[in-house]
Amino acid sequence: MHMLLLGIALLEYLKSISGTAVGLLMQDYGCWLSMKAARIESKGVTLGFRAPQFQLPEPLTGKVWALEDFEAHPALLVMFICNHCPFVKYLKKDIVKLTKFYMKKGLAVVAISSNSAATHPQDGPEFMAEDAKLFGYPFPYLYDESQEVARDFGAVCTPEFYVFKKDGRRPFELVYHGQFDDSRPSNNNIPVTGRDLSLAIDRVLSGQLVPSEQKPRYLAIELGYPFLRKINATDTKTYATRTIIFLQNDGTLKPLAIELSKPHPQADSFGPVSKVYMPVSEGVEASIWFLAKAFVVVNDATHHQLCSQWLNTHAVVEPFIIATNRHLSVVHPIHKLLLPHYRDTMNINVLARNVLVNAEGIIESTFLGGAYSVEMSSFVYKDWVFTEQGLPHDLLKRGVAVEDPTSPQCLHLLIEDYPYAVDGLDIWVAIKLWVEEYVNFYYKSDAAIVQDSELQAFWKEVVEVGHGDLKNATWWFKMQNRVELIEACAILIWIASALHAAVNFGQYPYGGYILNRPTKSRRLMPEKGSAEYDEVSKNFQKAYLKTITPKNDALTDLTILEVLSRHASDEQYLGQRNEGELWTSDSLPLESFKRFGRKLAEIEQKLIGRNNDESLRNRYGPVKMPYTLLYPSSEEGLTCRGIPNSISI
């Protein structure tokens, strides 16, 4: 079972998430609290991945094992397990049965526990030795105290199963990374059989190909704030949250577990204090699960405003606008290309600085971050990478897609029915094609780019002044050829148009009901036995209202979300220019721009078709919320659709 850490766009816009319990417990990562806010990283490994070297002690015997010790075998099963995890506990006996059976047929097996003994003493080495004895583990059970081996394997939860094939002298190659079977501790209807894992082992031992159709099933969304201590010292309180979501066969997502972590009372070096909550449908525990979800949503709503919206769209575009105005004359082709995408941005950013993101402004007073809001967003900016902002790169970076040279966009979505990604890729490809035709018309060679002194001065200012905090980053385009200019312009147009539209115009429709999408939390999860816990059990609504955004702030939030989600009457949409054909007298670029407009109209029809396709459950599912945010056109007002050329609100 492949784990992915994915961006929050998914959580933000796939709200069809609810349902009954499927149990799973994640492994604790002592290091994760120090992660940058919502840093998103793919932990998945792909088939063909070479088994990493390791050297780990076996607590039962004291022996140290290494990968080489298994080299004489045709196949190796590596399992990440631990003592306490309920899911592993549920499978332990069957794991023993299955491994005994296949070890007789030549399979090498090793189990690794990477759990921190600090947060889970019951996973410490002496208890591992006991467990190995108690269950009669036929395989060595190794202790990965530093968690380095787990990281090398990309393992982030327990149990995780990896089957490697050994072909003569070639290194161990991954042929299976998937589940034991469909059974889950909370679902007695599906018996434990080990079917999926045995099938893979049978195949590899008999020299057959292991089917590569191994759906990644678990997704993790992490929101960790390095600001937790500071925030908790104010009158808002929250946790770093980690959510594990199950990708079901119908393509919809179901939350399996939420981990809430807070800093250790003594020091960060003690690791976070974490607790895992799982879905419960009745009684006080159901209310507790509801609260756990609310903490995730609060972080998500805050990250959405400060990072997805303010930082990643509004703020990052500003330096480009300033540098364009300073260095590219109004008749410069790149100035003409980008101008519509700058149209309303400075104006709205000034307004935002006056009432929204200013000190004691609306964001500070009604969202979780409080006085640390802008500080948090500038902290996250340090990890911003311009070249990763185009949609394909963004999807790869977030681990929701893998490279696939056979597909038109060169990538394969791991969640096939992911409306933002699917619709966005169509828009991205159209933008890229338009920019490519345009740039190639004006620049007949790469040398022409190097020799364009206005363009070079523009770019130098963007990198060294506008984005000066990141000027030493090595990822900036050097702006030496057309490929770089095309990609840079396409990324910029994408950020200003579709990316902003996707994060902005759904805010009221998706998040305006603040009870469902609270923006701050005022107290932590109640402890069993406390008066607060008692209140949760007796009068949950009251307890919930005391926990989330207070009434006045909720009114402010819903009002502002409504205002922000509206299109002005003079909005200018992607593929349109208000000045008609007057913006250039060059006929080829004009023709090309018209083709771009027609392509967008075609895409809109295609998106409408997708939203009517009953098999796409994230558009046409029980929630009945079609994904319309990337329809290019719109009327004035609150329409939940429309891609303006520029960041206009």
Q: Where do contacts with Fe ion occur on this chain (CB under 5 A)?
A: 504
Q: Which is nearer to ligand NAG, 153 or 239 (CB)?
A: 239
Q: How far is the CB of 12 from Fe ion (least distance, A)?
A: 14
Query: Given the rule CB under 6 A, which of 152-160, 227-235, 343-351, 558-566 is the region that contacts ligand NAG?
Result: 227-235
What does 237 bind: ligand NAG, Fe ion, none (CB cut-off 5 to 8 Å by kind)?
Answer: ligand NAG
How would you class 332 by CB atoms within 10 Å of its CB: exposed for 0-12, middle for 13-18, buried for 19 or more? Answer: middle
Question: What is the side-by-side order of every strand in the sheet holding 240-247?
Answer: 3-5, 218-223, 240-247, 253-262, 273-277
- Distance, C-alpha 407 to centroid of its chain: 22
Q: Which is nearer to ligand NAG, 232 or 365 (CB)?
A: 232
Number of residues binding to ligand NAG, judged by CB under 6 A: 10
* CA–CA gap between residue 248 and residue 632 (Å, rounded): 30
Q: Which is nearer to ligand NAG, 83 or 302 (CB)?
A: 302
Q: How far is the CB of 46 from ligand NAG (least distance, A)?
A: 34
Q: How far is the CB of 232 from ligand NAG (least distance, A)?
A: 3
Q: Is 326 in the site for ligand NAG (CB under 6 A)?
A: no
CA neighbor of 26 nearest in space, from 167, 156, 217: 156
Q: Which is nearer to Fe ion, 304 or 327 (CB)?
A: 304
**In 3-51, which ranges are E strands?**
3-5, 25-26
Site string for ligand NAG, 426-465 (x = CB under 6 A): ----------------------------------------
Instruction: Give DSSP secondary structure letters for 308-367.
Output: IIIIIIIIHHHHHHHHHHHHS-TTSHHHHHHGGGGTTHHHHHHHIIIIISSTTSHHHHHS
* CA–CA gap between residue 306 and residue 537 (Å, rounded): 34
Q: Which is nearer to Fe ion, 315 or 536 (CB)?
A: 315
Query: Given the rule CB under 6 A, which of 21-29, 76-84, 229-237, 439-447 is the region that contacts ligand NAG?
Result: 229-237
**Distance (Å) of CA 300 to CA 10, 238, 239, 294:** 11, 12, 12, 10
Positions 465 through 494 that interact with ligand NAG (CB under 6 A): 469, 471-472
Q: Which is nearer to ligand NAG, 260 or 498 (CB)?
A: 260
Q: How far is the CB of 648 from Fe ion (least distance, A)?
A: 8
Q: Which is nearer to ligand NAG, 261 or 572 (CB)?
A: 261
Q: Which is nearer to ligand NAG, 414 or 525 (CB)?
A: 525
CA neighbours within 13 Å on the CB side: how many for 257? 22
What does 504 bind: ligand NAG, Fe ion, none (CB cut-off 5 to 8 Å by kind)?
Answer: Fe ion
Q: How far is the CB of 388 from ligand NAG (least distance, A)?
A: 19
* Residue 168 zone, left/alpha/beta (φ > 0; ψ -120 to 50; rest): left
| In the complex, residue closest to ligand NAG by CB | 232
Q: Is 233 in the site for ligand NAG (CB under 6 A)?
A: yes
Pairing of strands 25-26, 3-5: unpaired
Q: Which is nearer to Fe ion, 115 or 305 (CB)?
A: 305
The correct pick among 284, 524, 545, 623 for binding ligand NAG (CB under 6 A) is 524
Q: How far is the CB of 300 from Fe ion (least distance, A)?
A: 17
Q: How far is the CB of 316 from Fe ion (least distance, A)?
A: 12
CA neighbor of 293 nearest in space, from 244, 247, 249: 244
Q: What angle do CA 463, 469, 475 make, to 5 degrees?
A: 50
What does 2 bind: Fe ion, ligand NAG, none (CB cut-off 5 to 8 Å by kind)?
Answer: none
**Distance (Å) of CA 371 to CA 36, 84, 148, 554:** 18, 40, 36, 18
What does 229 bind: Fe ion, ligand NAG, none (CB cut-off 5 to 8 Å by kind)?
Answer: ligand NAG
What does 71 bind: ligand NAG, Fe ion, none (CB cut-off 5 to 8 Å by kind)?
Answer: none
Query: Given the rule CB under 6 A, which of 105-113, 143-151, 226-234, 427-435 is the region that contacts ligand NAG?
Result: 226-234
Question: How far separated are the first and last CA of the chain, in Å rounded?
Answer: 41
Coil, strand, or helix at residue 71? coil
Q: Which is nearer to ligand NAG, 233 or 330 (CB)?
A: 233
Positions 42 through 61 that interact with ligand NAG (CB under 6 A): none
Q: Which distant-in-sequence residues (6+ apart) come within 8 Å of 602 by Cβ?
A: none
Q: Which is nearer to ligand NAG, 215 or 229 (CB)?
A: 229
The correct pick among 2, 237, 304, 467 for binding ligand NAG (CB under 6 A) is 237
* CA–CA gap between residue 352 and residue 334 (Å, rounded): 28
Structure tokens at 323: 């540098």
Residues found in the chain: 649
CA neighbor of 174 nearest in space, from 50, 276, 18: 50
The correct pick among 198, 232, 325, 576 for binding ligand NAG (CB under 6 A) is 232
Q: How far is the CB of 554 from ligand NAG (least distance, A)?
A: 22
* CA–CA gap between residue 491 and residue 432 (Å, rounded): 8
Q: Which is nearer to Fe ion, 113 or 504 (CB)?
A: 504
Q: How far is the CB of 389 from ligand NAG (least distance, A)?
A: 20
Q: Which is nearer to ligand NAG, 230 or 293 (CB)?
A: 230
Q: Which is nearer to ligand NAG, 270 or 513 (CB)?
A: 270
CA neighbor of 567 nearest in space, from 468, 643, 516: 643
Structure tokens at 132: 């190995």
* CA–CA gap between residue 205 and residue 210 (Å, rounded): 10
How would you class 343 by CB atoms within 10 Å of its CB: exposed for 0-12, middle for 13-18, buried for 19 or more? Answer: buried
Q: How far is the CB of 311 from Fe ion (least distance, A)?
A: 11
Q: How far is the CB of 32 from ligand NAG (least distance, A)?
A: 18
What does 233 bind: ligand NAG, Fe ion, none (CB cut-off 5 to 8 Å by kind)?
Answer: ligand NAG
Single-letter amino acid, residue 157: C
Q: Is 229 in the site for ligand NAG (CB under 6 A)?
A: yes
Q: How far is the CB of 512 from Fe ion (least distance, A)?
A: 15
What does 471 bind: Fe ion, ligand NAG, none (CB cut-off 5 to 8 Å by kind)?
Answer: ligand NAG
* CA–CA gap between residue 502 and residue 144 (Å, rounded): 42
Site residues for ligand NAG per CB under 6 A: 229, 232-233, 237, 262-263, 469, 471-472, 524
